[in-house]
Amino acid sequence: MMAACSKGKISNFKVQEQLFNSLCRSVLLYAVVMWGCKKMEEIISFQFYFLRKLFYLQNEVSRWKILLETNARPIENSFLNVLSKFLNRLRSKRKDSLIFGCYEMLIKYQSKMNPKRSWTCMVNKVLEEWKVPILNLNLSHIATACQIKKIVASHRLQAINHLVETMCSRQNDVYSKLKAKIGSEKYLNSNLNFSAKKLIFQIRINLNYVTHAGKSCKLNGSRSGNYSICDIFNLQDNEDVYHVMYKCPHYSGGRFLFHRDIYRKTVNRDNYLLSIDWSNEKILSNIYKFWSYAMKVRNFLSTY
């Protein structure tokens, strides 16, 4: 699936997310109520592993940015959905049914364990953390299907609010200023090819590398020595995305070809990301073409 997505055969993020949900998440969440509460962190990491790999983001990119940019459904929210449905189903099942047998096993098994590691304790621990009504063993307080929908929706809202809070508390981060509205960014579901989307994602999130058509170009800070500072014409400028896009004379040809509309504005390193119209597919496509030019120039330069 990853291969199909990254080769650009599937370039719409919504479709990629649906594929992830039906091919990967469904496997991961199979029988998850038995073990999931103990392994919450692993389950969550799995989703970020997928998203990082898809957009070629390294570990330093924080989770809140990835979730805000993509508006992906947090996997713990899907887990909560599965768990509450499991508990709800128990109510209507006969005591001798298989599913009830499973539940009884889980409860029985815990008497042999450290009470703090028991199944109910783990379930209640995560539910409490998510501010969801906790479970009692005779199942009398379990929500109905309709209530479950509400609980799951409000949990998801909580998760989004938490992201927004994180964003507000990081006012100095350019991304916080960039993200005007909550929801997935338009370009992710546009007709741009997936390589271009990856590159736009990386630039928006303000990384010091970009990937272009499967090749990665590491800029300032990721290489030592001569690469980190561009000394052409005694500029002594840090080589970062801004430098390549706006400053370095090496790439002026590319700027002239693809970038004229964004160079009409005077910008600086701190505000250039804010000056780009990210909803304009034409501009984004030109940024991608510019980088294609820039990478070629860069390759050529590095052979000296």
Residue closer to Zn ion, measured from CB, 87 or 248: 248
The region of 35-43, 113-121, 243-251, 275-283 touching Zn ion under the rule CB under 5 A is: 243-251
- Count residues contacting Zn ion (CB under 5 A)? 2
Q: Which of 54, 200, 205, 230 binds Zn ion (CB under 5 A)?
A: 230
Distance separating alpha carbons of residues 162 and 284, to the nearest angstrom: 30
Q: Which of 87, 89, 83 is nearest to 129 (CA)?
A: 83
Distance separating alpha carbons of residues 301 and 304, to the nearest angstrom: 6
Alpha-carbon Rg of the chain, whole angstroms? 24
Q: Which of 294, 196, 284, 209 is nearest to 247 (CA)?
A: 294
Distance separating alpha carbons of residues 188 and 198, to the nearest angstrom: 9
Q: Is 283 an interacting residue with respect to Zn ion (CB under 5 A)?
A: no
Q: Is 143 an interacting residue with respect to Zn ion (CB under 5 A)?
A: no
Q: Is 152 an interacting residue with respect to Zn ion (CB under 5 A)?
A: no
Residue closer to Zn ion, measured from CB, 17 or 239: 239
Q: Is 248 an interacting residue with respect to Zn ion (CB under 5 A)?
A: yes
Residue 244 beta carbon to Zn ion: minimum distance, rounded to whole angstroms: 7
The region of 50-58, 81-89, 138-146, 228-236 touching Zn ion under the rule CB under 5 A is: 228-236
Q: Is 245 an interacting residue with respect to Zn ion (CB under 5 A)?
A: no
Residue 191 beta carbon to Zn ion: minimum distance, rounded to whole angstroms: 32
Residue 158, CA distances (Å) to 54, 76, 95, 155, 162 in order:
26, 12, 35, 5, 6
The region of 80-88, 193-201, 230-238, 296-304 touching Zn ion under the rule CB under 5 A is: 230-238
Q: Which of 170, 155, 152, 175 is nearest to 57 (CA)?
A: 175
Q: Which residues contribute to the site for Zn ion (CB under 5 A)?
A: 230, 248
